[in-house]
Amino acid sequence: MPHIQIEHSSNIKYKIDYILFNNLITILTKLANVKPENCKCKVFKIKKYYLGSNSKKEGFINLNIKIIEGRSKKIINQIGAESLQALQLFFQPYTKDISIQYSIEIQEIKSSNYFTTNSI
C-alpha cells in the first residue's frame, strides 16, 4: 500500500513512465509517510471511451490513489492538490493538440480490509 493507478484516454499518446510515478510517490512519502518500496503503480490506456462533447480533441486522465485510512482531511486535500499539479506539469508539453480533463480520487482503505505480505 499505497496503490497508484492512472487511467487515460487512448488519444494521449505520450508514454506514462517512472518520472510521473516517482513524483507521485514523493508526494505520498512526504505527506502520508508511506514507504516508497510499498507503492504499486499501474497504467491503463482506455481504448473505448466516450466524453459528453464527443470530440476527438478531448481526453482524460484519472488518477486513483488507494491508501490505508488514518490521514487527516487536510493531508488528503494536500495529496490531491499536489498530485493534480504533478499530472498537469507532466502532461502539459504532450497535450497541446487536445484538451485534457484531469480527475483524482483518493480512496482510504480500512486496515482490517487490506491483506499483504509487506510490513506496513
- For 64-108, write each residue's pLDDT tens digit: 999 999 999 999 999 999 999 999 999 988 777 788 999 999 999
Greater pLDDT, 21 or 52? 21
Looking at the whole model, is its pTM more than 0.75? Answer: yes
Mean pLDDT of 5-22: 90
As a whole number of angstroms, the distance between CA 21 and CA 87 comes to 10
> Residue-wise over 91-120: b if at least 16 C-beta within 10 A, else e?
beeebeebebeeeeebeeeeeeeeeeeeee
Q: Is the pLDDT of residue 20 over 90?
A: yes
What is the per-residue pLDDT for 12? 85
- The rounded radius of gyration (Å) of the Cα atoms in the chain is 15
Q: Is the pLDDT of residue 56 over 80?
A: no
